[in-house]
Structure formats: C-alpha cells, structure tokens
Amino acid sequence: MALPNYEVDPIIAEFLEHQIGGTPLLAFRRITAHLPANVAIYAKAEWTNPGGSVKDRAAFNIIRQAELSGELTRDKILVDSTSGNTGIAYAMLGAARGYRVKLFVPANASPERLAILRAYGADLELTDPLEGSDGAILAARAWVAAHPERSFYANQYNNPANWNAHYLTTGVEIWEQTRGRVTHFLAGLGTSGTLMGTGRRLKHYNPRIQVISIQPDSPFHGLEGLKHMPTAIKPGIYDEGFADRNLGVSTEATYAMARRLAREEGYLVGISAAAAMVAALQVAEELAARGEPGVIVTLFPDNAYKYLSESFWTG
C-alpha cells in the first residue's frame, strides 16, 4: 500500500492532504540542560499537520486505501470510534473529499475536541465516559453491525493502513531528519499505529534502534488518548512483543511536564505529548548515568489547544 506522492511545490499545497507530514523536529533548551552533550532529545511537532495532530497521517491513509479498494464510496458513511484526534482528521478529510462521517466518542472528551468535530459537520454519538475508548469501540461496532450496507467501518484499531501510514512517512522522516543517528524511538500507545509503523521502519533501517512504548502506569488515569494495554481491548494492529521496552507514565508526572514544557520551553502541547517527554527524559537520564550517548526521538502528537479547559494548567 503506497501513499500518494507528497512532493509538491513547497509554495503551493494544492490540496489539503498535501499538507500532511513533513513535520519539524524540535529540540529543547532548559528541560534538557542537565544532560551531557552526547545525549539529545528531539520531538516531532505533529500539530503542524492540517488537522492539528499526528492522526492526520493514519486517517488519510485509511481513507485513501478504502477509496482505492472500493470500500469507501460517496453513498457510504465513514464510521469509527475515537477519543478525538483521529475523529477530527476523519471529519476534516471527509469534508474535503465529500464523505459523511459518524463518530463514537467518550462523553468526557474535551469540550474543545467536541466543538471542532461539530464544526466540521461530523455526526457524534457520545458514549459512557466510564467505559473510555473501549466503550466507544463497542458502540461503533454495534452500529456498523446494525447498518452494514450504509457503513464503511474505518476501524482504526485494527486497520493495517493505520500503522502503514507511519511506516511510509513518519519513520522515513525521522531517519532523514536525524541523518540516521537516531538510537531510541518512543511513542505512546493508543491505537499503537504510530509505534508499530514508525518502529518497524526504523528497525528496517537499523535493527539496533531501541523502540520503546509509553502507556499509563495504571488502569485508572487521566491520560486522554492513551491506553493501559493490560486492561484494555488490545488493538488488532498491536504486537505486544514488538517494543524493546515498555514504560509506564503517571498522570501526575505528565500534567507537571505539560506545564514545564509550556513555561520553560514555550511548547504548549497536549497530554500525550507531555507523557512522551516524561518517558524520553527518563531514558535520556538513564543513558547519561551510564555514560552512554544517544539520540532519542519521540512525537508530540498534538498541541494543547484542545485541552485548555483542563484544570491541571493552573497547578
């Protein structure tokens, strides 16, 4: 499965999807100042995608592959469950390409995310917040089963076009942006597409690169968009034996890091981005303690504009 060629005139992004990918790699000043010169942390600024998150990559590939296979046509409704960002990408691309979009979203998704989805014209079904993303998955499956002739079930948790988008784009970008110097790659686990696709591509380039997964450290957490895999419905695209290491991150440490990134680096990022930074800093400090060099790369999936109603910002 191949994505369309993104190489267009840099001055003219002819269509919306031409703006997806090619995100910059960010460095840090104050938060990493204590690290030795031979240990570096970088993060891809995925909010520069047109829908504001890394999920634009997967959503576009899911839609494009379904168009090519004939599964998605103008008379079908694109249906999926989402905690917000993939839904925003579906809604944005659906509006641009002429598809109706129906999304099942936990009712505790941030008000900003819900407002954006409604602005794009998506049809929303809010599910039990206590059931989280798993409840939304089950609700979406039930609706598709009841309306099979009307639905294209995008099924981001089980669709290989999800991880393949990152194999074809994100992994290539990281390798090129670091000139092949990357030693560690970290990504949070939601659908797991970013970790699986990017990690596989980087392992293709250099099997010695360490691929590290990030997830909440307990089943009850405040890390919207991330799954605690031992107690969640595991995505079909997730291979739990793939990562070289799995790190659990606490809600409290993540919220504190979100404030630090905003106030010390000027990066106003989302919750999963802050969790990624907590884990990346842990790995960097371990390398420094052992006197080992490293080029650590993670992703900042989105910025904080969809989370500013959260109370932790005032801490």
Residue positions annotated with a catalytic role: 55, 272
* CB 9 within 8 Å of CB 19: no
Taking the C-alpha atoms of residue 267 and residue 269, their distance in angstroms, rounded to an integer, is 6
Q: Is 32 left (phi over 0), alpha (psi -120 to 50) or beta?
A: alpha
Given the DSSP bridges, would you call strands 25-26 and 210-216 parallel, antiparallel or unpaired? unpaired
What is the 3 state secondary structure string of the chain? CCCCCCCCCCCCCCCHHHHCCCCCEECCCCCCCCCCCCEEEEEEEHHHCCCCECHHHHHHHHHHHHHHHCCCCCCCEEEEECCCHHHHHHHHHHHHHCCEEEEEEECCCCHHHHHHHHHCCCEEEEECHHHHHHHHHHHHHHHHHHCHHHEEECCCCCCHHHHHHHHHCHHHHHHHHCCCCCCEEEEECCCCHHHHHHHHHHHHHCCCCEEEEEEECCCCCCCCCCCCHHHCCCCCCCCCCCCCEEEEECHHHHHHHHHHHHHHHCCCECHHHHHHHHHHHHHHHHHHHHCCCEEEEEEECEEHHHCCCCHHHHC
* Strand order across the 77-81 sheet: 123-127, 100-106, 77-81, 151-153
